[in-house]
Chains A and B, each alone.
Chain A
Amino acid sequence: MEKILQVKDLHVSFSTYGGEVKAVRGVSFDLHKGETLAIVGESGCGKSVTSQSIMRLIPDPPGKIHQGEIIFKDRDIIKMKEPELRKIRGANISMIFQDPMTALNPTLTIGEQIMEGIIQHEKLSRDQAKRVAIEMLNLVGIPNPEIRLKQYPHQFSGGMRQRIVIAMALVCRPDVLIADEPTTALDVTIQAQILELFRDIQKKTGVSIILITHDLGVVAQVADRIAVMYAGRIVEIGTRREIFYQPQHPYTKGLLQSVPRLDAEKAELVPIPGTPPDLFSPPVGCAFAARCPHAMEVCDKVYPFKTQLTSDHNVDCWLQDERAKKLVSSFK
Chain B
Amino acid sequence: MNTYFIKRFVAMIITLWLIVTGTFFLMHWVPGSPFNEERTTNAAIQKNLESYYQLDKPLLVQYGNYLKALVQFDLGPSIKKSSQTVNDMLGRGFPVSFELGLYTLLLAIVSGITLGVFAALRHNGLIDYLAMSIAVLGISVPNFVMATLLIQQLAVNIPIFPVATWSSPMHMVLPILALATGPMAIIARLTRTSMLEVLTQDYIRTAKAKGLSPVKIVFKHALRNALLPVVTVLGSLAASILTGTFVIEKIFAIPGMGKYFVDSINNRDYPVIMGTTVFYSAILILMLFLVDLAYGILDPRIKLHKKEAK
Q: Is B157 an interface residue (CB 8 A)?
A: no
What separation, in Å, do the CA atoms of A55 and B224 have in the docked complex? 26
Per-position 1/0 for A95-125, Cβ under 8 A of B: 1010100111111100000001100110000
Q: Is A154 an interface residue (CB 8 A)?
A: yes
Task: Return the chain B residue nearest A118 by Cβ.
Answer: B210
What separation, in Å, do the CA atoms of A31 and B208 have in the docked complex? 23
For residue B64, give the distance in angstroms from its CB to the closest CB of chain A. 49
Question: Among A57, A99, A102, A116, which residue has its beta carbon within 8 angstroms of that of B209?
Answer: A57
Beyond A89-B211, A90-B210, A120-B212, whether A57 also contacts B299 by CB under 8 A is: no
Instruction: Name, among B208, B216, B225, the residue most crowded by chain A CB atoms within 10 Å (CB to CB).
Output: B208
Q: Is A66 an interface residue (CB 8 A)?
A: no
Please provide the chain B residues from 153 to 212 with a CB less than 8 Å away from any CB of chain A in the complex: 201-203, 205-212
Beyond A108-B220, A152-B301, whether A102 also contacts B213 by CB under 8 A is: no
Q: Is B31 an interface residue (CB 8 A)?
A: no
Q: Is A86 an interface residue (CB 8 A)?
A: yes
Q: Is B221 an interface residue (CB 8 A)?
A: yes
For residue A103, give the distance in angstroms from its CB to the closest CB of chain B. 5
Task: Return the chain A residue nearest B222 by Cβ.
Answer: A105
Beyond A152-B300, A152-B301, A154-B300, whether A104 also contacts B203 by CB under 8 A is: yes
**Contact assessment for A55 and B209 in the assembled complex, using a CB-CB cutoff below 8 Å:** yes
**Contact assessment for A107 and B209 in the assembled complex, using a CB-CB cutoff below 8 Å:** no
Please provide the chain A residues from 113 to 147 with a CB less than 8 Å away from any CB of chain B in the complex: 116-117, 120-121
For residue B63, give the distance in angstroms from its CB to the closest CB of chain A. 47
What separation, in Å, do the CA atoms of A107 and B211 have in the docked complex? 19
A102 surroundings in chain B (CB, below 8 A): 201-203
What separation, in Å, do the CA atoms of A102 and B204 have in the docked complex? 10
A103 surroundings in chain B (CB, below 8 A): 202-203, 205-206
For residue A210, give the distance in angstroms from its CB to the closest CB of chain B. 13
For residue A54, give the distance in angstroms from its CB to the closest CB of chain B. 11
B205 surroundings in chain A (CB, below 8 A): 57, 97, 103
**Contact assessment for B212 and A107 in the assembled complex, using a CB-CB cutoff below 8 Å:** no
Question: Among B207, B210, B216, B299, which residue has its beta carbon within 8 angstroms of that of A106?
Answer: B299
What separation, in Å, do the CA atoms of A120 and B217 have in the docked complex? 12
B208 surroundings in chain A (CB, below 8 A): 57, 89
What separation, in Å, do the CA atoms of A154 and B220 have in the docked complex? 18
Q: Is B298 an interface residue (CB 8 A)?
A: yes
A165 surroundings in chain B (CB, below 8 A): 206
**Contact assessment for A108 and B221 in the assembled complex, using a CB-CB cutoff below 8 Å:** yes
Beyond A105-B225, A106-B301, A107-B224, whether A88 also contacts B206 by CB under 8 A is: no
Beyond A106-B299, A107-B300, A152-B301, whether A116 also contacts B210 by CB under 8 A is: yes
Per-position 1/0 for B276-310, Cβ under 8 A of A: 00000000000000000000001111000000000
B220 surroundings in chain A (CB, below 8 A): 108, 116
Please provide the chain A residues from 48 to 89 with a CB less than 8 Å away from any CB of chain B in the complex: 55, 57, 85-89
What separation, in Å, do the CA atoms of A106 and B301 have in the docked complex? 7
For residue B224, give the distance in angstroms from its CB to the closest CB of chain A. 5
**Contact assessment for A90 and B201 in the assembled complex, using a CB-CB cutoff below 8 Å:** no
B212 surroundings in chain A (CB, below 8 A): 86, 90, 116-117, 120
Task: Return the chain B residue nearest A95 by Cβ.
Answer: B209
In addition to A103-B206, A107-B298, A116-B220, 11 A-B residue pairs with Cβ atoms within 8 Å of each other are A89-B208, A90-B210, A90-B211, A104-B203, A105-B207, A106-B300, A107-B300, A116-B216, A117-B211, A120-B210, A120-B211
Would you mind naming 25 contact pairs between A and B with Cβ atoms under 8 Å apart?
A: A57-B205, A57-B209, A86-B212, A88-B211, A89-B208, A89-B210, A94-B210, A95-B209, A97-B206, A102-B203, A103-B202, A103-B206, A105-B206, A105-B207, A105-B221, A106-B203, A106-B225, A106-B300, A106-B301, A107-B299, A116-B210, A116-B216, A152-B300, A152-B301, A154-B301
Residues of B within 8 A of A (CB): 201-203, 205-213, 216, 220-221, 224-225, 298-301
Leading 9 A-B pairs by shortest Cβ distance: A89-B211, A90-B211, A90-B210, A102-B202, A105-B203, A117-B210, A152-B300, A95-B209, A86-B211
